[in-house]
Amino acid sequence: MTDVLRYTAFSTDPEGGNPAGVVLDATGLSDRDMLGIAAEVGYSETAFVFPHSEPDSFHVRYYSPQVEVPFCGHATVATAVAMERTGTLAFHTPAGEVVVETDGATATLTSVPTSAMPVSAEDLDTALQALGWEHDELDPRYPAHWAFGGARHLVLAARTRERLADLRYDFHGLADLLRLNGAVTAHLVYEREADVFDARDPFPVGGVVEDPATGAAAAAFGGYLRTIGKVRRPRTLTIHQGDDMGRPSVLSVAVRHNRDRVRVTGAAVRI
């Protein structure tokens, strides 16, 4: 029987953060096995760890209840803490190598190279229709983009916190748009103050209404800010996510103007 650990990431409270399943030894498991385990666990992602030939290195794959995803930040943080190690680890993921530094209670991942590109007018109209948002409810300082940080995300910024708080969307309509564009979540943000954002992440592609904390999207968002010229100096962002779901999460995101890799830090605790 496969041993599945349960951790929550980006929180020190088991009642907060984003829960992830962690299988520290997935040797012998097939794709079908892993998908079945992830569906049974029921969290937005479960991480599966395989041996690697190099020291302090591991192959890691991530499954939602419905699909495999190329990279998952919260499950990466959860896995690093679940390993009960300290130091620097290398996770070889379908998206590429992700370096993770951990002290046994928190973990900092360094993303693969990030990138971003504008959303077409047609796709933006489709996204807003699915979300039930109007064009004038978007923050004009943050243009809609597809952003990548190991997985692809739709980035939309709300003009008000009230707009972000009222999240009722067309599950299948948004899922179809994301799939057509090779994306996994919609990363919806609101700028609370300089370097502090609130975020919500619908994840219908994985069969999940909303993620309470999304490290991959946080990395992509950091790269997005760099792409649109809002990182002229090193910035450390604080992203609050999960508050509207009753699972408060805090993500720290370090972005540099001269580097396309983004560092995301958070705590994790066993559930």
What's the mean pLDDT when you consider all of the chain? Answer: 97
Question: For 26-85, what is each residue's pLDDT tens digit?
Answer: 999 999 999 999 999 999 999 999 999 999 999 999 999 999 999 999 999 999 999 999
Mean pLDDT, rounded, for 204-220: 97
Residue-level pLDDT at 43: 97
> Do residues 93 and 75 lie in contact, with contact meaning Cβ atoms separated by under 8 Å?
no
Mean pLDDT, rounded, for 133-149: 98
CA distance 252 to 245: 19
Which runs of E-coded beta strand occur in the chain?
5-9, 18-23, 45-51, 57-63, 68-69, 87-93, 96-102, 106-110, 115-118, 145-148, 152-157, 183-193, 196-203, 208-211, 235-241, 249-255, 263-270
Domains in the chain (CATH in brackets) are 5-109 (3.10.310.10), 115-265 (3.10.310.10)
Label residue 262 by pLDDT band (50, 70, 90).
very high
Question: For 79-125, what is each residue's pLDDT tens digit?
Answer: 999 999 999 999 999 999 999 999 999 999 999 999 999 999 999 99
> Do residues 18 and 8 lie in contact, with contact meaning Cβ atoms separated by under 8 Å?
yes
Amino acid at 240: H
Residue-level pLDDT at 210: 97
Please report, for residues 21, 160, 161, 162, 219, the alpha-carbon distance to residue 193 in angstroms, rounded to integers and kept in the order given. 33, 12, 11, 15, 19
Residue-level pLDDT at 194: 94
**In terms of Cα–Cα distance, which of 92, 154, 166, 84 is closest to 117?**
154
Mean pLDDT, rounded, for 153-182: 98
CA distance 213 to 29: 27
The bridge status of strand 87-93 relative to strand 57-63 is parallel
Classify each residue of 232-242 as buried b or exposed e, where b means 16 or more C-beta atoms within 10 Å of its C-beta: eeebebebbbb
Q: Which two tokens stand for residue 240?
A: 């609050």
CA distance 149 to 133: 25
Q: Which two tokens stand for residue 187?
A: 């990363």
Residue-level pLDDT at 144: 98
**In terms of Cα–Cα distance, which of 209, 253, 260 is closest to 18?**
209
Answering whether pTM is above 0.85, one says yes
Q: Taking 90 as the threshold, does the pLDDT of residue 1 lie above it?
A: no
Q: If you count them, how many residues does the chain have?
A: 271
